[in-house]
Amino acid sequence: MLSYKESTFNKLISVAVLIIIATVISIMTADAGTKAKKERVRMKMYYSKNDAGERVISIGLTAGSGRKMHGLKNAPVLLETVFNDSTTLLATVETDSSGLVDLYLAQDYKLPVNEDGVAIIMAAYEGDDTYRSASRKLEIVDLELDFNFEIEDSVKYLKVSAGKIDGEGNKLPVEGLEIDIGIQRLYSVLPIGSVETEKDGTGILEVQDDLPGDAKGMLTFVANIEDHDEFGTVTKTATEKWGIPVSYEVKPLPRQLYTDEAPLWMIALVVVTLAGAWYHFFLSVSKLIKLRKAGQERL
C-alpha cells in the first residue's frame, strides 16, 4: 500500500502528464484548425485600352468569406499569354496594400493572337499557408474606335466606327456594339448619348449645337466601351470645333473671409489690436530706459 506522500506524488505526476498531453493535443488541434481555416481567394481581371493606345491588365485579389472580404496585399500574381497550347510569361506582379495591381503593356509589344485575333491571358495566384490559390483567364480582341465629324443641312453628326483586328492585322467592322459618347469636362465626362454600330461598324449621333466649349469653341468627344466581354474597356477621344466659345475670365474676388484678400475691417482690427498692445510694450520699455538713465545721473 502506498504511503500518503507516495500517493500524492503519483497524483501530481498523473496530473502533470495529463496537462502535457492536453497541451500537445490543443497545439495540434490549433495547428489543424489553422490549416482548415485557409481563406478563400477571389480574383478579378480586367483589360483596358485608353486613348493613347496604352493597354492595361488590372488584377484585384480579395480574401475572406461572406461579407468579410479584404484586399490581399503583397500577393505574387503570375501573368502569362496562351497561344497554341504553349504559354509565354508576361510578368510576375505583386498586389498593393488594397490587393490591386496594374500591368501596363509596352506600346510595341504584340500579344500573340489566333486567326480570329483573340489573345488569351492567364493570371494565377499560387496561394500559401493562409490563403487558397486562385486563377483567371481572359480572352481579348483588340478593338479600334474612330471618329468622323460631318455636318448635313446645318445638323452635326458624329460618326463613330468600331473595328476589331484579326490575326492578320485586318480591321473588321463590328456590328451591334453599343458605344457611350460624352464630352470631357474639367473633372468628368458629360454623357451626351450612345450609339449602336450598324453592319459597317459605324454608329451615328446627332450632336446638339448649343454645347459650351472652351474659349475657341473646341469640344473633346469621348467614346467609351465599358468592360465588354470581348474587348474589355476601350476609350477614344477627338477634338472638334463644335461648341459655343465661352470666355472663362475669372473676375477678381471680393474681400471676404473665404478669398485671398481679407476684409478691410479685419485688417483694421488686427492692426489696431496689435498697435495697442505693442504701444504699451514700448511704453513700458521706455520706463526702463528712464530708470536706467536715472541710475546713471545718480552716479
Partner 1 sequence: MENSGVSISINDFVHNLEKPSKKWYLGVGVLTVIALFGMYALLRQFMEGQIITGMRDNVVWGIYTANFVFFMGLSYAGALISSISQLLRIKWTKPIVRIAELLTVSTLIVGAPFILFCLGRLDRIHYLLLYGRIQSPITWDVIAISTDLVFCIAFLYFTHIRDFAKLRDYPGLNVSNWRKKMYRYLALGYKGTKEQKKYLHQAHDIMAAIIIPTAIIAYSLLSLLFSMSLRPGWHSTIFSPYFVVTAGYSGVALLIVIMWIYRKNRKLETYITNLHFKYMSFALIMLTLIYGYFTFSEYLTDWYNQTETYHQLLHKLYDMNQFGWLSLFHFVFAFVVPIIVIGFPWFRSINMVTIVSLLIVIALWVKRYLIVVPTLETPYIPIQDIRPEYVHYSISWVEWALSISGIAVIVLIFTIASKWAPIIPVSEVADAHNLEKPKLLFKVRNDSTIKSQEDVVV
Nearer to partner 1, 27 or 274 (CB): 274
Q: How far is the CB of 233 from partner 1 (least distance, A)?
A: 23
Q: How far is the CB of 72 from partner 1 (least distance, A)?
A: 13
Round to whole Å and give the CA distance between 63 and 60: 10
Nearer to partner 1, 252 or 295 (CB): 295
Nearer to partner 1, 151 or 268 (CB): 268
Judging by DSSP bridges, how do beta strands 41-49 and 232-240 pair with one another?
parallel
Q: Are 60 and 52 in contact (CB under 8 A)?
A: no
Residue 254, CB half-sphere, CA atoms under 13 Å: how many? 2
Give CA angle at 236 (160, 221), nearest 5°.
70
Helix (H, G, I), strand (E, B) or coil at 203: strand
Q: How far is the CB of 187 from partner 1 (least distance, A)?
A: 17
Length of the chain: 299
CB atoms within 10 A of CB 119: 20
Q: Which amino acid is at 205?
A: L
Q: How far is the CB of 286 from partner 1 (least distance, A)?
A: 8
Q: How far is the CB of 220 from partner 1 (least distance, A)?
A: 29
Judging by DSSP bridges, how do beta strands 155-165 and 189-196 pair with one another?
unpaired
Nearer to partner 1, 27 or 285 (CB): 285
Of the candidates 41, 61, 31, the residue with the CA atom closest to the CA atom of residue 132: 41
Q: How far is the CB of 75 from partner 1 (least distance, A)?
A: 16
Q: Which amino acid is at 16?
A: A
Nearer to partner 1, 65 or 86 (CB): 65
Nearer to partner 1, 52 or 277 (CB): 277
Give the binding site for partner 1 (CB under 8 A). Answer: 70, 97, 257-258, 260, 262-263, 266-267, 270, 273-274, 277-278, 280-281, 283-285, 287-288, 290-292, 294-296, 298-299
